[in-house]
């Protein structure tokens, strides 16, 4: 069958996918509404442009440097790469305590972190139109447009200051921890 006359099952799958996107994407819902009214729609319309921000590459150096610090102080990568299924919960808990202490030291030494929201967890709050969607993730039955009223289930975290050490010229940040050879 051609794209101009899709089969019943293709149309059914398309309808289900469209329903999900209409419920989750207000810009897409507006486009469908305009299409249904017979208005011209396309990628240049403002609603679609607003719902799709441009993407940029994130430089990996700082992320790798922080991961290396977490490895050095807390053996974070070692812990995550270990197959823990053979260990008891008590053994895993003991290892987690060491990892936790070392990683917490790194966070406190190199980052200043504060809650993304100041209200207490469990508080009811209303998010007005234009709320910071990068700092607040809506969960549950998300339909319609702001204002949204809900319960704060997690305050989130925001970095307010980064104090990573300077890197020597030529330092390979991809090496998180050098191999160790005992002589």
SS (H, E, C) 105-148: HHHHHHEEEEECCCCCCCCEEEECCCCCCCCCCCCCCCCCCCCE
- Comparing 51 with 141, which gets the higher pLDDT? 141
Phi (first) and psi of residue 43, to 5 degrees: -65, -15
pLDDT in the model for residue 178: 94
The answer to whether 171 touches 61, Cβ cutoff 8 Å, is no
Quote the pLDDT of residue 1. Answer: 45
Query: 161 in helix, strand or coil?
Result: strand
pTM of the model: 0.64
- Determine the average pLDDT of the residues in 22-33: 76
Work out the number of other CB atoms within 10 angstroms of the CB of residue 178: 8
pLDDT tens-digit profile of 109-142?
Answer: 999 999 999 999 999 999 999 999 999 999 998 8
């Amino acid at each position: 069958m051609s794209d101009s006359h899709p089969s019943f099952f293709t149309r059914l799958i398309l309808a289900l996918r469209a329903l999900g996107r209409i419920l989750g994407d207000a810009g897409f819902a507006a486009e469908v509404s305009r299409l249904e009214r017979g208005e011209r729609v396309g990628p240049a319309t403002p609603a679609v442009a607003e719902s799709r921000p441009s993407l940029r590459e994130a430089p990996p150096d700082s992320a790798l440097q922080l991961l290396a610090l977490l490895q050095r102080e807390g053996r974070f990568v070692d812990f995550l790469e270990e197959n823990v299924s053979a260990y008891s919960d008590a053994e895993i808990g003991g290892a987690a305590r060491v990892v936790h202490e070392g990683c917490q030291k790194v966070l406190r030494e190199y980052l200043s972190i504060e809650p993304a929201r100041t209200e207490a967890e469990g508080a009811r709050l209303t998010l007005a139109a234009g709320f910071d969607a990068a700092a607040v993730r809506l969960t549950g039955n998300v339909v319609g447009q702001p204002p949204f009223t809900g319960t704060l289930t997690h305050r989130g975290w925001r970095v307010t200051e980064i104090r990573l050490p300077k890197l020597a010229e030529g330092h390979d940040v991809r090496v998180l921890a050098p191999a160790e050879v005992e002589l």
